[in-house]
A and B are shown apart, each in its own frame.
Chain A
Amino acid sequence: MVEVQSEIQFQSPKERGPVAMQLKDVAVSFHGRTAVRDCSFDVTKNKVTSLIGPSGSGKTTLLRALNRLHDLTPGAKVSGQIMLEGTDIYRGDLTVTELRTRVGMVFQRPNPFPTMSIYDNVVSGLRFNGIKKKSLLDESAETSLRSAALWDSVSSRLKVAASNLSGGEQQRLCIARALALDPEVLLMDEPTSALDPIATLHIEELMKTLTKRVTVVIVTHNMQQAARISDDCAFLLMGEDRAGELIEFDTTEKIFNNPDDPRTLDYTLGRFG
């Protein structure tokens, strides 16, 4: 268990700043059985907000509600309000495809499209959305590959199949792919849990720079990681009815040093998994 303490910038609550997404009483249920509920918090722009908690607490379920991935699951119901820049993403004027160009996602296991080259992978989102202009594709590809700290190592072999990259590089490719659409929010679902420690470190370093372009919401089961990289933290826990609920939301500093709820304290002290 490596303790990284040093360069975490703690932010005082007063300086929160503009809000990218707002959640109000958000709950997700599957065929009537609640998976997660009582989620209300604001995701601050250009900051990293992490969702932490033991497994089963509904963090991933909540994350996937933010880009409406549950629309694919029959029997899934999302209640409450999720606002993106003031528009309700479920009941507002926003089509699902438009939402997903503004809220991107990176998954747990690196998943570049296996039949496509590195270049084709990065620009796949643009192509899906009808963008064909080569200059725009090239520019976006370079910008996002640079943002993912991958440009120098792949720029000379963009036409190579994406499966040739290592695990860590593939994940950064997926980050670049999501960034190519220049989204406002980037959702990350345990992006480093399938990677080795060095690759994990690279990606954590990356996240500090990503916030210049996007707002990041990340699910992680590794609370040291959350302490290292996030500005705000939402702690979720599975209740007795086997539904996850939001216990506490605050700045990372508060959550880890001086939480309001005793359960939060128990978790951060490692008293349960």
Chain B
Amino acid sequence: MSDLIELEEPGDSGHAMRDEIRRTSDRFRGRRVAISRAMVALCSVALLIAAVPLVLLMYQLFKQGVGQIDWKFFTTLPMTPTLIDPTATGGISNAIVGTIALTLYASILAIPLGVLVGVYLAETQSKLATTLRVISQTMAGAPSILMGLFAFSLIVHDLNVGFSAIAGAFALAVLMMPVIIISTEIAVRNVPNTLREAGLALGAKSHKVSMKIVLPSALTGIVTGVILAISRAIGETAPVLLVIAGGFTNSWKPLSPVSAMPLAIYENAKSEWPSQRAQVWGIALVLVIFVFILSLTARIWASRKQQVRN
């Protein structure tokens, strides 16, 4: 407290110091401002550089892909070009059917389980919950090929089901689950406690509160998470690459081999036939459009949630 009473007399040294400060800072000012402008420009350049690949990619996708797409593209099975008919590539109906089937089966496996676990994590405070939370966060970032290895090991090999749609769906389900779990938990936690307390105050039992009040409220967030998970599953190659064996029919039976759009892209990109390589752009374009639509839908849905909350 004694330093309170200290009164500081500036004296002459005050002004000498001020003068030196002013002089030095005047000397450097021009340089500092120039450096600042240069770095600002550099950062903006970085932003532009970051945008370039996206623009180039989109350009290529549209330029090369649009020409490939027509009714036959969606409805005929693929063919292998021959020397006699090098442009006979057929369509990708098997890949489309396969993607739809895989996504459907994977969703059936992943969504109910994922949502339930997400709710569990949001409403429980146990050691198991904490562990599962860490596990699902880790799995969400895991390389997707590991899911393929898992599906191979368990479904194809141990359960002796063989290369099949169900194996691929299993791999995709393992991929989707952590995403759904995390976003469900966040959505449920974001429901204001006042809603819960109001329900309890009205005499409802806690599980009814959870089911009838909390879940409907969290629904938008849950749906957003599901859409994002689906959008991711549609585009993943590695999990299915190992286990579905790229079927050439329009079959969607769980136990038979099946194709998928990303797989078709992966395999035909390396093809020796230019016509097949060209067709790949069409597949890629369709895939990207699907994924974009889903991502944008999720985003719009999520922002609607914000508006409702406000």
CB within 8 Å of B: which residues of A?
A: 95, 97-98, 101, 126, 128-131, 133, 136, 139-140, 143, 146-147, 149-153, 181-182, 202, 205-206, 209, 212-213
Q: Which of A97, A128, A140, A149 contacts B3 (CB under 8 A)?
A: A149
Q: Are A126 and B29 in contact (CB under 8 A)?
A: no
**C-alpha gap A205/B9 in the complex (Å):** 16
Q: Which residues of A contact B308 (CB under 8 A)?
A: none
Report yes or no: A182 in contact with B3, Cβ–Cβ below 8 A. no
Q: Is the CB of B9 within 8 A of A136?
A: no
* In the bound complex, CA of A131 to CA of B14 (Å): 16
Of A98, A153, A182, A202, the residue contacting B26 (CB under 8 A) is A98
Judged by DSSP, the binding face of A is helix
Q: List 15 A-B contacts (CB under 8 A).
A: A97-B32, A98-B29, A129-B24, A129-B25, A129-B28, A131-B24, A139-B13, A140-B17, A146-B8, A147-B8, A149-B3, A150-B3, A152-B2, A182-B18, A212-B9
Cα(A129)–Cα(B28), bound, Å: 7
Chain B facing A: main interface SS: helix
In this assembly, does B37 line the interface, its C-beta being within 8 Å of a C-beta of chain A? no
Other-chain residue from A130, A143, A149, A150 in contact with B32 (beta carbon distance below 8 A): A130
> Nearest CB to that of B24 among chain A residues?
A131
A98 to B32, CA, bound (A): 12
Residue B6 lies at the interface, judged by CB distance under 8 Å to chain A: yes
| CB–CB B25/A130 < 8 A | yes
Task: Give the residue of B13, B14, B29 whose beta carbon is less than 8 angstroms from that of A95.
Answer: B29
Q: Chain A residues near B2: list those with CB within 8 A.
A: 152
Question: Is B47 at the interface (CB under 8 A from chain A)?
Answer: no
A136–B20 CB distance below 8 A: yes
Distance A165 CA – B33 CA, assembled complex (angstroms): 33
- Within the complex, the shortest CB–CB distance from A198 to chain B, in Å, comes to 10
Task: Mark B15-46 against chain A: 1 for CB-CB distance below 8 A, else 0.
Answer: 00110111011111101110000000000000
A205 close to B4 (CB less than 8 A):
yes
The distance in angstroms between the C-alpha atoms of A124 and B14, with both chains bound, is 19
C-alpha spacing A101/B33, complex, angstroms: 14
Interface residues of B in 75-94 (CB under 8 A from A): none
How far is B33's CA from A205's CA once the two chains are assembled, in angstroms? 38
Q: B21, A146: Cβ atoms under 8 Å?
A: no
A95 near B33 with CB under 8 A, answer: yes
Distance in Å: Cβ of B31 to nearest Cβ of chain A: 8
A143 and B21 alpha carbons, distance in the complex (Å): 14
Least Cβ distance of B4 to chain A in Å?
A: 6
Given A139-B17, A182-B18, A182-B21, the answer on whether A97 and B6 have CB atoms closer than 8 Å is no
